[in-house]
Structure 1
Amino acid sequence: MYSFKNDYSEGAHPRIINALVESNLEQTPGYGEDSYTEKAVEILKQKIKRDDVDIHLFVGGTQTNLTAISAFLRPHEAAIAANTGHILVHETGAIEATGHKVISIDVSDGKLRPEDIKPALDAHTDEHMVKPKLVYISNSTEIGSIYTKNELEQLSKFCKENKLFLYMDGARLGSALCSEENDMELSDLGRLVDAFYIGGTKNGALIGEAMVICHDSLKEDFRFHIKQKGALLAKGRLLGIQFLELFRDDLYFDLARHANKMADLLKNEISRAGYKFLINSPSNQIFPILPDRLIEKLEENYSFYIWEKVDPDNSAIRLVTSWATKEENVLAFIKELKSVIDSEQ
């Protein structure tokens, strides 16, 4: 049974494992004050092309989101998210548990635009309602779409004009930035969003996300918030070592490019077989629409998520490739797909 369920089924890239083993018996300061973390932070600042950002390393995405959003918002303030947004759908109410409402916006492609957000601002008019203050976006989105530079520039401009913080979930940021349809660089995020994180867990790290705070007003006392939320890792060097390995050269981007390449191979062959997709997703998540009987056959040897029912006879499934996905496994899936199709003709 081979899994296309997610991009974190495997452990970590061998270089990271080796670096962790080689440093295993070293004694270093804790809580992210070690030399590895300091070097990793410095390299990330160089990549972002801003020396004035604050960078904090976390273990996972939900932990990062709930710590950041609850720190950035006052008690009566709320976040705005797409109806597919991770903080709305797949984080067990973590944001709400900190006392902040998440306002849902219906969109078809997972992306928020100014015209999507404005009605929510117009609807929340006074102190009898929560006050929208933060716009939450993901890149790539939860359904594999990505933001263009122009889209992000327009969103950034709108947020500034309306005194909203713009926050980007970057769990799959590597895949977004390495997509063939992408026209942004990591440094663009440093000027267009108020805070974002760089996802490591889903791009070759054992664990780890790097939170980047760009807006000065959001930086104060942030480590207090990290500690209070149980996110200040005593053995912080374990995170620093991983981000140092990922970013001291182009490993982070090489791994993301590989994941995208494997997804493109799947997408192209499924398309050639005559099947359509739920959405254009130029990243490492694809959503082909297949007959239910074909899905049942594929499930005998492959695991993946059935995303949604499209009609009585067809469903969209989610296939996710990773930094570790082997081309032979992709080709084997395609071969079986074609074999099942041929057997039914």
Structure 2
Amino acid sequence: MIVKLTQPYSFLDDYSEGAHPRLLQSLLLTNATQQTGYGTDEYTHEARQLIYSQIQATDDEVAIHFVPSGTAANLISIASCLRPYEAVLAVETGHILDKEAGAIEATGHKVIPVPGVRGKMTPENLERVLDRNTFFPHMAKPRLVYISNATEVGTIYTRSELRRLSETCRRRDLLLHVDGARLGVALIAEMNDLTLRDMVDYTDIFWIGGTKMGALLGEAVVVRRSLAEGFEFNIKQRGALLGKSRVMGVQFAELFRDGLYFELARHANAMARRISAQFERMGWELAADTETNQVFVVVPDAMLHRLAERIRFYEWDKRETGTVIRIVTAWATDEMAVDKLCQWLEAIYQA
């Protein structure tokens, strides 16, 4: 449920604003140049080379493709490497299970839920579900594990966790796919020890989110070469091969040219930590650790309406002690708005 108000500052999501000014400036500066389409333009080539440098990989190891949205990135990646009878495994809070309108199922692939731990897939839970899905050929065959980093509850995978999951997948002949809509805030989190090169080493497909990290639109899909043959055909068939793909190329080149991508992620996380710390000072329970740019807090029901007069947020869950709300900060979150919110909360606490 969305709290609908016209005036309060929005913490609903991390894509309410358009694009970072530097990206808009680059789009304007390159606007009149004539370029070829469908990912063959010089700006998309530059973006690929910059990402190759960031992930410390070569085009012999992985291919990089740009698609306009996260749902497109997920369904194209998954559909491109599965046979019709093969299934996807995802934690019960996974984005593809309840936030993408059955897009994966629409490609003909069953999604098998796995109990999560703090929003994360664990090898132990994965193994248990796999052992219950072996009545072949009467059950869909598990083939790909879907996770997101950061997760739907804002938590992140450590290097050890991802490595163990990867080892399990390889031992059980499963592919590992990482939804990276919020990969930037995950990699810049204080407790993170993962690198982009680790993503190459431990996964088969992952993508780097741009939409939630200062771009107008666009996600960069990194796919292992052994799975990359024909990937462009899947992009085209799903209506995601843009004639003006330069729009994504220009933006990703700007994001990765000199560290802007991670600078914006750092800001989003810092704003979330400030808000989270204020809730903790007030004694309000956090429903999940604030590791990235999402804050989940249990708000006393008597305070819910008053808080809604100040900010916009999602009501996430109900508890006996109140309502769990989700507050999301972004690359563009106004620091003054955060200060005012914290001051208002402090005043309530002191009253």
Question: Normalised by the size of structure 2, how large is the TM-score?
Answer: 0.95
SS in 2 for 1:171: coil
- The answer on whether the counterparts of 1:297 and 1:340 sit within 8 Å (CA) in structure 2 is no
Please tell me the residue identity of whatever aligns with 2:166. S
TM superposition shift of 1:23: 1.0
Say what the alpha-carbon RMSD is for the aligned residues.
1.0
Q: Which residue of 2 aligns with 1:87?
A: 96
Q: Does 1:28 align with 2:38?
A: no
The answer to whether the Cα contact below 8 Å between 1:174 and 1:256 also exists between their aligned partners in 2 is yes
Counterpart code for 1:7:
D
Q: Which amino acid aligns with 2:335?
A: E
Structure 2 residue corresponding to 1:165, chosen from 162, 166, 175: 175
Code of the residue aligned with 1:209 in structure 2: it is E
- Kindly indicate whether the alpha-carbon contact (under 8 Å) linking 2:19 and 2:214 is maintained by their aligned counterparts in 1: yes
Q: Aligned with 2:211: secondary structure?
A: coil
Deviations 1:292-321 (A, max 9, x none): 12121010121000110011x501110100
Paired with 2:200 and 2:324, the residues of 1 have a C-alpha distance of 35
1:331 is matched with which residue? 339
The residue number in structure 2 matching 1:38 is 45
CA distance in 1, matches of 2:349, 2:102: 41
CA contact (8 A) 1:79 1:133 kept: yes
Q: Does 1:14 align with 2:21?
A: yes
Query: Structure 1 residue 270: deviation in Å?
Result: 1.1
Residue of structure 2 in register with 1:265 after alignment:
274
1:236 to 214, 238, 245: 245
Tell whether the 8 Å contact from 2:35 to 2:41 is kept in structure 1 after alignment.
Answer: yes
In structure 1, C-alpha distance between the alignment counterparts of 2:153 and 2:210, rounded to whole Å: 19
1:189 is matched with 199
Q: Percent identity?
A: 49
> 1:48 maps to what in 2?
55
Q: Return 258-267 or 104-113, whichever deviates more.
A: 104-113
What is aligned with 1:316?
A: 324
TM-score by length of 1: 0.97
Aligned with 1:252: secondary structure?
Answer: helix
Alignment-mate amino acid for residue 217 of structure 1: S
Gaps of 5+ in 1: none
Aligned to 1:150: 160
Shift of 1:339: 3.0
CA separation in 1, counterparts of 2:86 and 2:129? Answer: 13
Aligned twin of 2:81: 72
Match of 2:184 in 1: 174
CA deviation map 1:157-189 (0-9, x unaligned): 110111100000000000000000101111110
Amino acid at match of 2:38: Y
User: Residue 234 of structure 2 aligns to which amino acid in structure 1?
Assistant: H
Deviation at 1:333, TM superposition (A): 1.1
